Amino acid sequence: MAITYFEIKIDRKIRPLNKGFRTEFNLITGADYFVSFGRNIVFPCKLIGTTDTHVIIEVPEKPRTNRRYLELNGNANLHAVSRYLLARIEIGRTPEEAVMNSASVTTTAFEYNRYDITDHPGFKSMPGVKTRTGIK
């Protein structure tokens, strides 16, 4: 089932942690997590795949139209999503943990739907993930 778009505003007293103080937890492919890209705003996400150092997540986009979106596998869907490649320590199990593990701009530079990220070192040898190639 697709997750729907919503955002959560978290109290300003909760601050992002330095990467050296973040702890990694057990990740389950297909489970729902939370991600924050800054400003204490949190979005739901679904874990698509993992490697030793990175994860691929799907974040629902705000609906702008009633048109259907074509997924990579050819299915039509009403829910638009963006896929991101992040470090394993940049998502959270709770909205507060997502703010403490806020994703940095440098790691979110690869959007899975728009770029071929198979050349990224964190993406090497990820089983079961198919990409669109040749799109720049």
> Could you tell me where the beta strands, DSSP code E, fall in the chain?
8-9, 32-36, 41-50, 54-60, 69-70, 76-77, 81-87
Considering only residues 51 and 123, tell me which one the structure prediction assigns the higher pLDDT: 51
Comparing CA positions, the residue from 113, 111, 89 lying closest to residue 18 is: 89
What average pLDDT does range 74-82 have in this prediction? 70
pLDDT digits (tens, 9 = 90+) for 39-63: 999 999 999 999 888 899 988 887 7
The domain spans of the chain are 1-136
pLDDT of 83 strictly over 90:
no
CB 81 within 8 A of CB 59: yes
pLDDT digits (tens, 9 = 90+) for 8-39: 999 999 999 988 899 889 999 999 999 999 89
pLDDT of residue 43: 94
